[in-house]
Structure 1
Amino acid sequence: MLGIQHYDTFLLACIALNLTPGLDTFYILARSGREGHVVGLGAALGINAGCVVHTLAAVLGLSAILMTSATAFTALKYLGAAYLVWIGLRMLLGRQAMHAPATTRGHGFAAAFRQGLLTNVLNPKVALFYLAFLPQFVTLQAPRAQLGLLVLGLSFIGTGLCWSLVLALLGSRIHRLLQRRPRIGVWMDRVCGGVLLGFGLKLALQRPQ
C-alpha cells in the first residue's frame, strides 16, 4: 500500500549520509563545544525540526516548485545564504576577551534551536535533496505513496537525530576544555565563523540542478 521498496538499503544510505560531515555536523559541534551539551541538543533538535519541514514539503509536493521555478529557488537560496553569512561574520569579527567565559553572549538553547532550524529550512539544497532522494525508494503509483514518502522522511530524520545527539555529547567535552583554556574558544569562533561564511558563499553560488 505504501509502495516502499528496498527499505534496508534506504536505511544504510541514511546512515552513510548522516555520518558524512557537513554544515549540520559542524554547527552542532560548534554550539555544543562553545556552550555545552544542552545548547548542542538545542542545535540538534532545531536542525532535525528543519528536516521535518522539508519532509512535509516533499510529501505535499511543495518542493517541486524549487525544481521548476528559478525565481523561487533564487529567492530561498539568497535568503539562506545571507543568513549563514550573517552568522559567520558575527563569529568571525566578534571581539571576545581572552579571559571571558566560554559561553557565547546572547545565545543559549532557544537561539541554537532557532538558528539550527532556520539554517536547515532556508537551504534549498536540502529541499531538493529530499525531493530527489526519497522517491527512489517508493513506487509513486502506489495507493498511499505520499504516506510512504512520509515514513521514509521520518526514518531519515530518526537516524539523523541519533547521530546529532552523539555529536552534541561529544561537543560538550570540547566545552570543558574551553572552560579551562578560554583562548582556544576565541580561535574556535574565528574558525567556525570562517567555515559558516564559506558555506553561505557556496550556497549563494549554487545553481538548480
Structure 2
Amino acid sequence: MTDLLPPWPLFSAFLLASLALAVTPGPGVLYVVTRSLVQGRGCGLVSVASVAFGNLGNALAASIGLAALFAVSSFAFSVVKSAGAIYLIYLGIRMFRSSSVESPASKPEVAPLGCVFREGFVVALLNPKTTVFFAAFLPQFLDPSAPAMLQSMVLGALFVAMAAVTDSAYALAAGMAAPALRGNTARRAGLRIGGGLFVSLGIFTVISGDRGTR
C-alpha cells in the first residue's frame, strides 16, 4: 500500500490541498446541505454517502482514462453534463410540487433512504467536470516510479474519504437547523427554497465552464 503513495513531502502537500478543496462548498455540499435542512440529519448523512460513491466512480473513471475522452470529445462531455443538469432540475421541480400539494395539517414526510441514496449517487456521478478535475488534480502528486493508474486510484479514494468527512460535518450542522423547518409553513418554504436551489444548480451546471467542481 505504501508503495502506491508518493513520498511524504508530496503526500503532505496532497493532504493539505485535498482538505482545502474538501471544505470549499460546491454542488455536492449544496446537495447535502439542502437534503439535511429539508429532510433531516439522517437523509443528509445518506446523501453524503451517495455523493461519496458517485465521486469515487468519477475518480476511478479518471484513472482509467475516461477523462481523456471528455477532454478530446466535447460531445461526450456535453451529453453527460446535460444529463446531470436535467436530473437536478427534475429533483427541484419535484420538490416544488411536493410543497404545493402538502396539506397544512400534514406531518413532515421523509423520503425513503434508498431513494435519497440513488438520487445523490446519480447527481454526483453525472458530473463529468468532477472526472476532469480528478484527471487534472491527481497527476500533480503521482510518483513516477509507481504504477500511475493504481496510484491515482488510491489518491482519488483518499480525497473522496476526506470530502465525505467534511460533507458529514456540513450535514450535521444543517441537520441541527432542520427542526426550524418542521412547521408546516416553514417546511413548505424550505421545500420551495430547496427546489429553487436544485433548479438553479442544474442551470448553473449547463452554463458553467469546464472547470471541475465537487
Same fold (TM > 0.5): yes
Q: Structure 1 residues 142 and 99, CA, compared in 2 at 3 Å: closer, same or farther? A: farther
Q: Name the residue aligned to 1:43.
A: 47
Answer yes or no: is 1:98 the counterpart of 2:98: no
Q: Name the residue aligned to 1:168.
A: 171
Partner amino acid for 2:85? A
Alpha-carbon displacement from aligned partner over 1:145-181 (angstroms, at most 9, x marks no partner): 22221121111111111112222222322232223x2
SS at match of 1:4: coil
Gaps of 5+ in 2: none
Q: 1:208 deviation in Å?
A: 4.2
Matches within 5 A, 1:6-85: 6-85=10-89
- Decide whether the 8 Å contact of 1:3 with 1:144 is kept in 2: no
- Decide whether the 8 Å contact of 1:42 with 1:109 is kept in 2: yes
Partner amino acid for 1:103? E
% same residue? 30
Gaps of 5+ in 1: none
- Decide whether the 8 Å contact of 2:62 with 2:134 is kept in 1: yes
Partner amino acid for 2:106? A
- Decide whether the 8 Å contact of 1:31 with 1:39 is kept in 2: yes
- Decide whether the 8 Å contact of 1:78 with 1:204 is kept in 2: yes
RMSD: 1.8
40-49 or 161-170, which moves further after superposition? 161-170
Provide the rounded CA distance (Å) in 2 between the counterparts of 1:123 and 1:92: 23
**TM-score of the aligned structures, taking structure 2 as reference length:** 0.87
**TM-score of the aligned structures, taking structure 1 as reference length:** 0.89
Q: Name the residue aligned to 1:158.
A: 161
Q: Name the residue aligned to 1:184.
A: 186
Partner amino acid for 1:185? R
SS at match of 1:63: helix
Answer yes or no: is 1:145 the counterpart of 2:148: yes
Total equivalences in the alignment: 205
Q: 1:126 deviation in Å?
A: 1.0
- Decide whether the 8 Å contact of 2:50 with 2:117 is kept in 1: yes
- Decide whether the 8 Å contact of 1:4 with 1:138 is kept in 2: yes
- Decide whether the 8 Å contact of 1:67 with 1:208 is kept in 2: no
